[in-house]
Structure 1
Amino acid sequence: MATAKLASNSQLGGASKGNAELKQRLIFLVLALIVYRILAHIPVPGVDPDSLKTLFSENQNGLLGLMNLFSGGAVSRFSVVAIGITPYITASIVMQLAAIVVPSLEALKKEGQAGQRKITQYTRYGTLGLALIQSFFVVTNLQGSEAPVIQPGVAALAIAVVTLVTGTMFLMWLGEQITERGLGNGISLIIFTGIVSSLPVGISSFFEKVGNGSIGYFTALLIIVLAVALIAFIVFVERAQRKLPINYAKRQVGNKVYGGQSSILPLKLNMASVIPAIFASSILLFPATIVNIFSDSQTIWLRDLAAELSPGKPLYITLYVAAIVFFSFFYTALVFNSRDVSDNLKKSGAVIPGIRPGEQTTRYLDRIITRLTLVGAAYMAFVCVVPELMAAQWSSSMAFGGTSLLIIVVVAMDFMSQVQSSMMSSQYESLMKKANFKGSK
């Protein structure tokens, strides 16, 4: 009786310890995101609020509106984190591409944690360089506008650039801290928080347009139904899996026979998750920003190009879809290596029915992954582009953009999965401690 009571207390103690750790991670996550939102309301020194408001109101439906959506309104306030996390994402893309092409970086990637730390260090340097370039061009363009947002002068320019670069580097560090000490992927959660913070304003603007007759009641109802249907579709596809049957060979050790069991190899339909949409948006923002900066010149074709790179335009949508497809295949190839999976199956004595181990299994997995990725890329392009076309057709709020909707749903699903996994892990540890306690009796 006393032993059972001690075992029960041990189990409760293990569970409470796991819950305490989960609580600490959640508290750290909330505090980190609160810090981010506070920074999004602190303006860069020397900014003229009235001029900024006028400039943004004239360009909020284009590139500035998209950047403002991802930053949670930081661009419209030209806050210290107005540049956002985009330079870090772009640097990560460049480093992952370079790790495939450059032999020295490919060798670093194979060195395990030591090599990964080195690649992370190079990514940080790249983030710093891209943040400097982007901040310099943005501040220079704002100083040269008809209504100067930032006071002219070298000192004001230097202060604004240093402030913006510092804000980006701090966001990069904050995202890494959330990943390590909080829950979920820090960078994704920062983007998620920025989008969610913009939703109330976007929804309010949407219903205001319905109220003043800019959007009809039937059209508004259709938009809401389509938004709900898209959310349900995203949840369905993100949970979809291709389950490959796996058979384990029988092995006899002495008088006992091991193996001979069947299992499955689950392959997600969309292995890349929301990463291709974020990468595609970020990679398009950088050249679009540069083109917009020089679009005030007398070069007609440059002004036309800047207009075509705005969200909802045919050129923007075409490049966006192409980038989503490319990054879907690229990122899937990074997270799933068919040859490694084939080798692991062979070492564990597992085979796919009807497929010989080794090279034939590798080719079979490559075919399956290629088909799944193609369907996943088409799904992501559909989800991201259709709301953009809806917004262009009915002039609805940017809050209903496909990329933002996809990020919100997928990041929320991943976050809930991590919370559930953490809770199950703590319960499993408490059960193992109870089992060990009984075994030692």
Structure 2
Amino acid sequence: MASAAEQLAANLNFSAFGKAKELQQRILFTIGVLIAYRIGTYVPLPGIDLVQYQAFFDRQAGGLLSTFSLLGGGAVERMAIFALNVMPYISASIIMQLMSASIPSLEKLKKEGGEAGRKQINQYTRYLTVLLAAGQALAIALGMSAVDPNSGASLAINPGPFFVVSTVTTLVGGTMLLLWMGEQITARGVGNGVSLIIFAGIIAEVPRQLFSALNSAASGGSAANFLFATVMIIAGLVLVVFIERSQRRLIVEYPKRQQGNRMVGGDKQFLPLKLNTAGVIPPIFASSLLLLPATALGFQAQSGPEWLQTMVAWIGWGQPAFMALYALLIIFFCFFYTSIVFNPEETADNLRKSGGFLPGRRPGAATANYLDFVLSRLTLIGAGYLTLVCLVPMFFFSSNTALGGTSLLIVVSVTMDTVSQIQSHLYAHQYESLIKKSKLRGRRR
């Protein structure tokens, strides 16, 4: 006889979805917010010369601005009100996690503060987001106000204090509005709001880049190169899905114990350890740390000294210095973020309290050491996989692409997480239906 879970899984069809009205409302709300976000990426900043800016952006094509524009859904290319996207928030989250791991008061607030402590840390993160967004917006505003010595023009129509203030206010307001929209999606929609905003920006760029590649192949480009790129993307997609779903399952045994007149327990369960515990966080963190200062430097470099222009060229997308820093940051954040989300000592202590143990390992310190041993090796494999997926496309594509390694990771991870949440809502709806039916049958009897 099929179990209840198997029966529920069998019922997860379009009929079940059609009856889940709350889930439909959540999905429609999420789509509506994402549409509003996409509209905002086409609203340009006031006071900029769009023709001059487009020429400047075209000169920077394939560099850091293109990468930042990709993650922002093309908002940087159009210098829209959402040009900063949610990257300042991601950078603020990085800093707060680093501080939470090194400052005792914040660490205590995170571990012992409960829901109130979590809300307090989130509030600190928002304050820091405003400061980072203001700093980056100021650098962008000053860079657009600078006069190009070659052409004698600037990207701003009327450069001056008013332009700087209005630009900083608009960009910071756009970032905070996106952060609020992401929080609304998380609370009233489906999926993680901030991740879905980045996901929507990347997906929106895919059709344009795909048609561009097709036109290039049709107008004399190499069809073999296009075919090779297609095969690489499909292979990368398969690899990402396979690794993201891979787990190392550790057997956990529970001894039998006397309960009244009968013996209970003696079960075996699994402790799943993901091969890539950190998920897509390391590439996003690494990208934000490289892109935020480099983008600001790129605006200053057009009218700055020669050494600044050389530095910007060294850390350009696909350059050896950029790839080396990118790989080091990915590996660092893999181990750092894994140490935050999974604590071997805490897990071993929870197993001991519940009566579980790993076969051949003594409860307590021995179990914690073994979990740390296994997790460290899994994290090493995961770091190598993330580095490979993110760096390999740089050797074959002349510029960043919406179908590159980091974009592929984000798209696959966010899609899997969103689908999982949709399935959870459907499971909950199915359980509610079963409970209502059982109550009705009980009343009839």
Tell me the TM-score normalized by structure 2: 0.92
- Residue type of the alignment partner of 2:125: T
Shift of 1:267: 1.1
The answer on whether the counterparts of 1:272 and 1:328 sit within 8 Å (CA) in structure 2 is: yes
Deviation per CA, 1:304-344, whole angstroms, max 9, x where unpaired? 21101111011111111111111111111111111111111
- Residue type of the alignment partner of 1:64: L
1:196 has 2:199 as partner: no
1:134 to 126, 133, 136: 136
CA RMSD, Structure 1 to Structure 2 (Å) = 1.8
2:257 to 251, 256, 272: 251
Alignment of 1:192-231 (within 5 A): 192-213=199-220, 215-231=221-237
The alignment partner of 1:400 has SS state of coil
1:311 to 1:23, Cα distance in 2 relative to 1, 3 A: same
Shift of 1:300: 3.4
In the other structure, the counterpart of 1:73 is 74
In the other structure, the counterpart of 1:5 is none
Deviation per CA, 1:383-404, whole angstroms, max 9, x where unpaired? 1111122113xx6x62232111
In the other structure, the counterpart of 1:4 is none
Shift of 1:285: 0.8
2:245 to 212, 233, 239: 239
The answer on whether the counterparts of 2:91 and 2:285 sit within 8 Å (CA) in structure 1 is: yes
Deviation per CA, 1:269-297, whole angstroms, max 9, x where unpaired? 11111111111111111221233244345
Alignment gaps of 5+ in structure 1: 1-10
Shift of 1:56: 0.9
Shift of 1:203: 1.0
In the other structure, the counterpart of 1:409 is 412
- Residue type of the alignment partner of 2:411: I
Shift of 1:211: 2.1
Shift of 1:130: 0.6
Alignment of 1:26-425 (within 5 A): 26-110=27-111, 111-146=113-148, 147-150=153-156, 151-213=158-220, 215-296=221-302, 299-392=305-398, 398-425=401-428
- Residue type of the alignment partner of 1:310: G
Alignment gaps of 5+ in structure 2: 1-10
The answer on whether the counterparts of 1:40 and 1:72 sit within 8 Å (CA) in structure 2 is: yes
337-346 vs 125-134, greater mean Cα deviation: 337-346
114-123 vs 302-311, greater mean Cα deviation: 302-311
Provide the rounded CA distance (Å) in 1 between the counterparts of 2:417 and 2:302: 42
The answer on whether the counterparts of 1:387 and 1:400 sit within 8 Å (CA) in structure 2 is: no
The alignment partner of 2:301 has SS state of coil
The answer on whether the counterparts of 2:17 and 2:426 sit within 8 Å (CA) in structure 1 is: no
The answer on whether the counterparts of 2:252 and 2:269 sit within 8 Å (CA) in structure 1 is: yes
1:418 to 1:298, Cα distance in 2 relative to 1, 3 A: closer
In the other structure, the counterpart of 1:3 is none
Provide the rounded CA distance (Å) in 1 between the counterparts of 2:364 and 2:435: 37
- Residue type of the alignment partner of 2:293: P
Provide the rounded CA distance (Å) in 2 between the counterparts of 1:92 and 1:414: 20
The answer on whether the counterparts of 2:76 and 2:84 sit within 8 Å (CA) in structure 1 is: yes
Provide the rounded CA distance (Å) in 1 between the counterparts of 2:181 and 2:304: 42
The alignment partner of 1:399 has SS state of coil
Provide the rounded CA distance (Å) in 1 between the counterparts of 2:288 and 2:170: 21
136-145 vs 297-306, greater mean Cα deviation: 297-306
Shift of 1:166: 0.4
Provide the rounded CA distance (Å) in 2 between the counterparts of 1:285 and 1:168: 16
The answer on whether the counterparts of 1:40 and 1:73 sit within 8 Å (CA) in structure 2 is: yes
Percentage of pairs with the same residue: 46
- Residue type of the alignment partner of 1:235: V
In the other structure, the counterpart of 2:5 is none
The alignment partner of 2:328 has SS state of helix
Provide the rounded CA distance (Å) in 1 between the counterparts of 2:259 and 2:401: 64
The answer on whether the counterparts of 2:29 and 2:189 sit within 8 Å (CA) in structure 1 is: yes
289-298 vs 52-61, greater mean Cα deviation: 289-298
Shift of 1:27: 1.1
The answer on whether the counterparts of 1:18 and 1:423 sit within 8 Å (CA) in structure 2 is: no
Provide the rounded CA distance (Å) in 2 between the counterparts of 1:439 and 1:268: 43
The answer on whether the counterparts of 2:253 and 2:266 sit within 8 Å (CA) in structure 1 is: yes
How many pairs are equivalent?
A: 424
The answer on whether the counterparts of 2:301 and 2:312 sit within 8 Å (CA) in structure 1 is: yes
Provide the rounded CA distance (Å) in 2 between the counterparts of 1:104 and 1:35: 39
Tell me the TM-score normalized by structure 1: 0.92
Provide the rounded CA distance (Å) in 2 between the counterparts of 1:352 and 1:338: 13
Provide the rounded CA distance (Å) in 1 between the counterparts of 2:214 and 2:314: 29
The answer on whether the counterparts of 2:147 and 2:303 sit within 8 Å (CA) in structure 1 is: no
- Residue type of the alignment partner of 1:158: V
